[in-house]
Amino acid sequence: MENPAALAELEAEALAHARGGRMEEALALFARVAAARPQSAAAARNCGAACLNLYRNAEARDWFAKAEALAPADADAALGHGTASHMLGDLDDAIAAFDRALVLRPGWFDAVLARANALQHAGRLSAAEAGFLAALALQPNEARALNNLANLRADQTRFREALDLYAKAGAEHGWLFALNYDPDVSAEQLAAAYRGWGARYANAPRMQLAASAHAPKERLRVGFVSCDLRRHSMQHFLLPALAHLEPSRIELFLYSATGKSDAVTARYRALAAKFTSLDGIGDDEAAVLIAADGIDILVDASGHTAGNRLGVFARKPAPLQATWLAYGTTTGISAIDWFLGDARLVPPGGERHFVERVWRLPSAYCYAPPAGMPDVAPLPATQNGAVTFGCFSRTIRLNDRTLAAWGQILASLPRSRLKLDSLPFVDEATRADFARRLCGFGARHDQLEIGYTTPQSAVWDAYGQIDIALDPFPHNAGATTFEALWLGVPVVSKRDRIPLGRFGDSILGAAGLGDWVVDDVPGYVARAVAAASDVAALAALRASLRARLSASDLGHAASFGKALGDAFNGMWQLAAPKKP
């Protein structure tokens, strides 16, 4: 056993490493201290904190549990235990740990906020709301509490309150994200908001790249920056596209905006010539790192979603920059040259809604369905004697204009039903609120089935209970539209604001289902009612949808990869110096 003085020196050195962000080194030293002091709760807690910073959450929880066992009155250990459990997705254990922390230290802001966050992620919105309000009573201007309450208000479609809270928190990305969903904001107002944000916040000095940066090349170095290079719905779109880029033309570099990694991250790593984590690296340093890699085209695959690295793009570390896939609209950053879409997502004239130039692919996406999705189930209406509509999208999309159209559909078809399935519907008050609103627009309570299904395999099975999916507007759904089609469920969609209200048109049009897309609410209601009135046609379409999706541009990853490579080469040729 090392002597006390030596252990104190080790601990001091470990703390210095931790303060400097060198967590691997810190953990190695903290672990030596913990081994020498097996009865020290503080030593175990330090190991847990280091593991949390390294996203080694299971180890972190074990260390914090040991600290709690050694010192049951250690509130910090309970908080750490709850944080690790939250990161692991074990929300019940996280909430229980935060409760223990608050028993030990009543009114502790950090524990109050952490508990509210866990409740929100568990879908328990009413309890989460009370928790955020309690946190703000303790610290009225605390940005995290304001931001998270804003997230909750957005999920409740209370957009005015959400936007005010984001503004008070200084959460510009959240403010823009919520604005995308507000039905009272026009496409022109949205574009102006993004331009304004870019002018205020994305004006960092641009890097001075070599004069030869635009020289003609046979093989381009293309880098993608994303916070989602891990288990995430985006993997079903990004992985197949990257896997089918032609190596003879594209050398792929990947930059992860997070230190989190899993088995899906390993799949991304295997595709890349170089995989780099930008976790803990500032925008200036990250830009220098990317420029040193000699990237020709840098692609943003996060937009304004949480964890984005748009500040890096503002510094222009590559001669050309583009944005694609994850966000679906302009970034507002003039240093980003191109937005990748298609002619349905951004029809002619839609360019005015973008700071970037628009490059139109044959289709904006390709799709590889998740492993384990079930076979297409028989049409429920053949057994039920009536059609069941459904929407499994996030509640942030379910504003009153959308609910009003759904109410009209249900009123027109008195035997029909509507199944809504989303995490916030865990909460009884949230279910009651959406039911009340729908009934105010003509639905009856006995037509509604509102709840939340988990795990994911059960969600896929739940698609077998619906005949027709209804796409929200003005912000259409994305991933759930692909899931519905793959599972044999056609989708009624309305064209709305460019481009966020054109996702349905982009997806359904590419799948050969353009006749399921309409231009106004009366057409939306009429299309849904007409489709529900022909059960035989619905059954035939259901049996063919998976094959149709597979045969379309959306299901041809090889063709998409070639088109994406052609786009990158086309951009490069346009930017190349013209011969005299």
Indicate whether 201 belongs to any domain.
Answer: no
Indicate whether 170 belongs to any domain.
Answer: no
Overall average pLDDT of the 47-52 stretch: 96
CATH number of the domain enclosing 570? 3.40.50.11380
Whether 397 and 477 have beta carbons less than 8 Å apart is answered as yes
- State percent of the chain over pLDDT 90: 93
CATH number of the domain enclosing 409? 3.40.50.2000
Does 407 score more than 70 pLDDT? Answer: yes
**pLDDT band at 10, cuts 50/70/90?**
confident
Say yes or no: 390 and 517 in one domain: yes
Who contacts 128 (Cβ-Cβ below 8 Å, separation ≥6)? 116, 117, 119, 120, 152
pLDDT, the chain, mean: 96
Say yes or no: 531 and 403 in one domain: yes
The tokens for 76 are 């910090």
Predicted local distance difference test score (pLDDT) of residue 580: 54
**pLDDT band at 250, cuts 50/70/90?**
very high
Predicted local distance difference test score (pLDDT) of residue 515: 98
Q: Among candidates 62, 36, 68, 39, which has minimal Cα distance to 50?
A: 62
**Bridge partners, residue 274, by sequence:** 253
Indicate whether 36 belongs to any domain.
Answer: yes
Say yes or no: 251 and 119 in one domain: no
Whether 183 and 529 have beta carbons less than 8 Å apart is answered as no
Pick the last residue of a domain from 152, 177, 196.
Answer: 152
Q: What is the tens place of the pLDDT at every residue in 123-182? A: 999 999 999 999 999 999 999 999 999 999 999 999 999 999 999 999 999 999 999 999
* Cα 411 from Cα 516, distance rounded (Å): 20
Predicted local distance difference test score (pLDDT) of residue 509: 98
Say yes or no: 420 and 293 in one domain: no
The tokens for 510 are 């590419």
Predicted local distance difference test score (pLDDT) of residue 213: 67
For residue 212, the SS3 value is: helix
Residues belonging to the chain: 580
Who contacts 536 (Cβ-Cβ below 8 Å, separation ≥6)? none
Predicted local distance difference test score (pLDDT) of residue 2: 66
Say yes or no: 40 and 135 in one domain: yes
**pLDDT band at 579, cuts 50/70/90?**
low
Say yes or no: 438 and 424 in one domain: yes
**Bridge partners, residue 518, by sequence:** 494
List the domain range (segments joined by +) for residue 533: 381-554
Domains in the chain, number? 3
89 vs 11, residue with greater confidence: 89
* Cα 252 from Cα 229, distance rounded (Å): 14
Overall average pLDDT of the 261-275 stretch: 97
Which amino acid appears at position 42 of this protein? A
* Cα 63 from Cα 46, distance rounded (Å): 8
**pLDDT band at 188, cuts 50/70/90?**
very high
Does 506 score more than 80 pLDDT? Answer: yes
Whether 465 and 419 have beta carbons less than 8 Å apart is answered as yes
Say yes or no: 461 and 564 in one domain: no
- Cα angle, residue 7 at apex, residues 6 and 9 outer, rounded to 5°: 65
Whether 181 and 155 have beta carbons less than 8 Å apart is answered as no
Overall average pLDDT of the 90-107 stretch: 98
For residue 458, the SS3 value is: helix
Does 211 score more than 70 pLDDT? Answer: no
At 518, which helix (H) or strand (E)? strand 517-518
Say yes or no: 352 and 423 in one domain: no
Say yes or no: 501 and 571 in one domain: no
Pick the last residue of a domain from 152, 175, 194.
Answer: 152
Overall average pLDDT of the 463-490 stretch: 98
Pick the last residue of a domain from 152, 180, 203.
Answer: 152
The model's pTM is 0.94
Say yes or no: 82 and 115 in one domain: yes
Which amino acid appears at position 432 of this protein? A
Say yes or no: 458 and 486 in one domain: yes
Indicate whether 280 belongs to any domain.
Answer: yes
Predicted local distance difference test score (pLDDT) of residue 17: 87
**pLDDT band at 323, cuts 50/70/90?**
very high
Predicted local distance difference test score (pLDDT) of residue 576: 81
- For 116, 222, 312, the CA distances from 336, given in Å and listed in that order, are 37, 14, 11
Say yes or no: 436 and 543 in one domain: yes
Indicate whether 143 belongs to any domain.
Answer: yes
For residue 465, the SS3 value is: coil
Helices 400-412 and 428-440, packing angle to 10 deg:
60
**pLDDT band at 215, cuts 50/70/90?**
confident
Return the residue matching tokens 């568990």.
122
Indicate whether 165 belongs to any domain.
Answer: no
CATH number of the domain enclosing 146? 1.25.40.10
